[in-house]
Amino acid sequence: MQRAVAASNTNLPTGRLDGDKQAFTIESSGTLSDAAAYRPIIVAWRNGFAVRLGAVGRVIDSVDNDKVVAW
């Protein structure tokens, strides 16, 4: 599952614009911003059918670990 999520969430350089005095790198913004965007990610195939992340667990907007806090 980790590979499927990582493959769906990318931020890579896609090009470059060169000017006389300045150059810009263009990056694709393929990051997923909320839980709803993760639900349809295909994590496996079973009997010819796609198994989506939302079908194998709860996909919610939250933090990585809600048991630790820092001030």
**Against a cut of 0.95, is the pTM above it?**
no
Give me the amino acid identity at 5. Answer: V
Identify the CA nearest to 58 among candidates 30, 39, 32, 37. 39
Query: Which residue ranges make up each domain of the chain?
Result: 2-56
Per-residue pLDDT for the chain (71 aa), expressed as one digit of tens each? 778 777 776 666 667 778 888 887 776 666 777 888 888 888 889 999 999 989 998 888 887 777 777 77
Identify the CA nearest to 8 among candidates 53, 56, 58. 53
pLDDT score at 47: 95
User: % helix / strand / coil in the chain, to the nearest 5?
Assistant: 20, 30, 50
